[in-house]
Chain A
Amino acid sequence: MAFTKDQRDRLTERAAQVIARYPQPRSALLPLLYLVQAEEGYVSPDGIAFCAEQLGLSEADVSGVMSYYTMFKSKPVGEYHVGVCTNTLCAVLGGDGIYSELREHLGTEGEEPTGDGKVSLERVECNAGCDYAPVMMVNWEFFDNMTPRTARQLVDDLRDGQPVAPTRGAPRLVTWREASQILAGFPDDQATGGHTAGAPSLAGLRIAKENGWTPTDDGEPQ
Chain B
Amino acid sequence: MTTVLTPELTAHWDEPDSFTLAGYRRAGGYRALPRALAMNPDDIIAMVKESGLRGRGGAGFPTGMKWGFIPQGDGKPHYLVINADESEPGTCKDIPTMLANPHALIEGAVIASFAIRAQRAFIYVRGEVLHVIRRLHHAVAEAYEAGYLGKNILGSGFDLDIVVHAGAGAYECGEETALLDSLEGHRGQPRLKPPFPAVAGLYACPTVVNNVESIASVPYIVGRGSAAFAAMGTEKSKGFGIFSLSGHVTTPGQYEAPLGVTLRELLSLAGGIRAGHQLKFWTPGGSSTPIFTAEHLDVPLDFESVGAAGSMLGTRALQVFDETTCVVRATLRWMEFYRHESCGKCTPCREGTFWTVQVLRDLEAGRGTEADLDKLLDICDNILGRAFCPFGDGAVSPVMSSIKHFRDEYVEHVKRGGCPVDPAASALFAAEVGGAR
**In chain B, residues 228-275, which have Cβ atoms closer than 8 Å to a Cβ of chain A?**
228-229, 231-232, 240, 243-248, 251-258, 269-270
Nearest-Cβ distance from residue B355 to partner chain A, whole angstroms: 19
Complex Cα distance, B134 from A59, in Å, reads 31
- Which residue of B88, B137, B187, B246 is within 8 Å of A64 (Cβ)? B187
B224 proximal to A (CB < 8 A): yes
CA distance A126 to B321 in the complex (A): 16
Complex CA distance for A107 and B11, rounded to whole angstroms: 45
Q: Does B203 interact with chain A (Cβ within 8 Å)? A: yes
How far, in whole Å, are A200 and B95 apart by their CA atoms in the complex? 13
* A181–chain B nearest beta-carbon distance, Å: 11
CB contact under 8 A between A22 and B163, given known A131-B92, A213-B3, A218-B3: yes
B337: CB under 8 A from chain A?
A: yes
What CA separation (Å) do A194 and B132 show in the bound complex?
11
> What residues on A are CB-neighbors of B248 within 8 Å?
93
**Interface status of B29 (Cβ within 8 A of chain A):** no
Say yes or no: A215 contacts B240, CB within 8 Å. Answer: yes
A154 at the B interface (CB under 8 A): no
Residue A156 interfacial (CB < 8 Å): no
Q: Does B185 contact A (CB under 8 A)?
A: yes
Question: Is the beta-carbon distance between B135 and A183 smaller than 8 angstroms?
Answer: no
Partner of A168, one of B99, B184, B334: B99
A4 within 8 A of B: no
Q: Which of A93, A140, A196, A200 has the most CB of B within 10 A?
A: A196
Chain A proximity of B128: nearest CB distance (Å): 5
CA distance A133 to B320 in the complex (A): 12
> How many Å from the CB of B356 to the closest CB on chain A?
14
Whether a CB of chain A sits under 8 angstroms from the CB of B182 is: yes
Q: Identify B429's interface contact among A147, A207, A218, CB under 8 A.
A: A147
Chain B, residue nearest A33 (CB): B168
Q: With a CB–CB cut-off of 8 A, which chain B residues contact A170?
A: 130-131, 134
Q: Are A208 and B7 in contact (CB under 8 A)?
A: yes
When distances are taken between beta carbons in the complex, the residues of chain B under 8 Å from A30 are: 165-168, 182, 185
Mask for B410-437, Cβ within 8 A of A = 1, else 0?
A: 0000000000000110111100110111
Chain B residues with Cβ below 8 Å from A179 are 130
Q: Is the CB of A217 within 8 A of B247?
A: no
Cβ contact within 8 Å between B128 and A68: no
Choose one: A83, A91, A219; the contact of B229 (CB below 8 Å). Answer: A219
Q: How far is the CA of A182 from the CA of B244 in the complex (A)?
A: 28
- B369 sits at the interface (CB 8 A): no
Q: How far is the CB of B429 from chain A (nearest CB, A)?
A: 4
Q: Is the pair A131, B333 in contact by a Cβ cutoff of 8 Å?
A: no
Q: Is A23 an interface residue (CB 8 A)?
A: yes
Q: Which of B89, B203, B225, B427 contacts A93 (CB under 8 A)? A: B427
The CA of A101 and the CA of B343, in the complex, are separated in Å by: 31
Selected interface stretch from A6-14, A112-120, A184-192? A184-192
Which of A23, A130, A141, A187 interacts with B138 by CB under 8 Å?
A: A187
Neighbouring B residues of A134 by C-beta, 8 Å: 427-428
Which residues of chain A have C-beta atoms less than 8 A from B187's C-beta?
A: 64-65, 68
Give chain A residues whose Cβ lies under 8 Å from the Cβ of B334.
Answer: 87-88
* Interface 9-mer from B13-21, B358-366, B372-380, B381-389: B13-21
Contact check: which of A86, A94, A98, A169 meets B131 at CB < 8 Å? A169
- Whether the pair B100, A196 counts as a contact (CB closer than 8 A) is yes
Also in contact, A196 and B19, with CB within 8 A (given A31-B166, A187-B138): yes
Query: Is B6 among interface residues, defined by CB-CB distance under 8 A?
Result: yes
Query: In the bound complex, how far is the Cα of B424 from the Cα of A31, in angstroms?
Result: 41
CB of B91 within 8 A of chain A? yes
Contact residue among B16, B165, B319 (Cβ-Cβ distance under 8 Å from A88):
B319
A97 interface residue, CB < 8 Å from B? yes
A residues near B, CB below 8 A?
21-24, 26-31, 33-34, 55, 64-65, 68-72, 83, 86-89, 91-94, 96-98, 100-101, 124-134, 137, 139-142, 145, 147-149, 166, 168-170, 174, 179, 182-185, 187-188, 190-192, 194-197, 199-208, 211, 213-220, 222
Q: A92-B426, A202-B254 are in contact. List 10 more A-B contacts (CB 8 A).
A: A97-B435, A127-B129, A148-B429, A170-B130, A179-B130, A190-B134, A197-B13, A201-B99, A205-B5, A211-B3
Can you identify 24 A-B contacts, CB atoms within 8 angstroms? A26-B185, A28-B185, A30-B165, A30-B166, A30-B168, A30-B185, A70-B168, A70-B170, A83-B128, A92-B247, A128-B126, A130-B89, A170-B134, A183-B166, A191-B131, A197-B96, A200-B254, A204-B257, A205-B5, A205-B7, A205-B11, A215-B220, A215-B228, A218-B6
The 3 A-B residue pairs with the shortest CB-CB distance, nearest first, are: A97-B436, A203-B253, A219-B228
Chain B residues engaging chain A, CB cutoff 8 angstroms? 1, 3-8, 10-11, 13-20, 28, 77, 86-92, 94-96, 99-100, 120, 126-131, 133-135, 137-138, 163-171, 182-188, 203, 220, 223-225, 227-229, 231-232, 240, 243-248, 251-258, 269-270, 287, 317, 319, 321, 325, 329-330, 333-334, 337, 340-341, 343, 423-424, 426-429, 432-433, 435-437
